[in-house]
Amino acid sequence: MHRVRIVLLLALVLLVGVLVAGCGPVSRANAWSHAEKADRLNNEGRYDEAIEECTKAIELAPDLAGAYCSRARSYNEKGQYDLAITDCNKAIELDPNCAQIGNSGEAYYNRGYAYKLQGKKAEAIADFETFIRLTHNPQEIEMARQQIEELSK
């Protein structure tokens, strides 16, 4: 009788382990789905909805740097620079290159932009320079150089 209980308990523990392990990839896929939707909403200027989608993504996958990058963009657009900086810091902590759906270093650009609008020139320039080192997109490099040029005046 005692052995039966032990076997049943072990079977239950294994079953729970399998179920929990099986949820990981599904949750991460759902998180990416929310992050991608947030990017589309950001591009449409629907920042509050984008923030909601990013928050859902972060709840499902707290280590998804791209969701923090995207939410930071929304916060910047809404003039909530401290929140943008906080999200960028988290994204950089999670992924120092902060690749977000093809854009390396986006957290640095977003944080640099927030610093610029807060009047923190040195911090902004440092972030734009880091962004330039990380991205491979010539148009994005030019945008960052223009930001540095404006800040250097």
Query: pTM for the complete prediction?
Result: 0.79
| Distance of alpha carbon 8 from alpha carbon 11, whole angstroms | 5
Binned at pLDDT 50, 70 and 90, residue 3 comes out as low
- Whole-number pLDDT of residue 103: 56
Single-letter amino acid, residue 92: I
CB distance 135 to 141 below 8 Å: yes
**Residues forming beta bridges with residue 103, ordered by sequence position:** 100
**Residue of 55 and 8 predicted with greater confidence:** 55
User: 27-151: which CATH topology?
Assistant: 1.25.40
| Alpha helices per DSSP H over the chain | 2-43, 47-60, 65-77, 81-94, 106-117, 121-134, 138-151
Mean pLDDT score of the chain, rounded to an integer?
Answer: 84
The answer on pLDDT for 24 being more than 60 is: no
Average pLDDT over residues 32-37: 92
Backbone angles phi, psi at 100, to 5 degrees: -120, 110
> What does the pLDDT look like over 96-150, one tens digit per residue?
877 554 556 889 999 999 999 999 999 999 999 999 998 888 999 999 999 999 9
Domain extent listing, the chain: 27-151
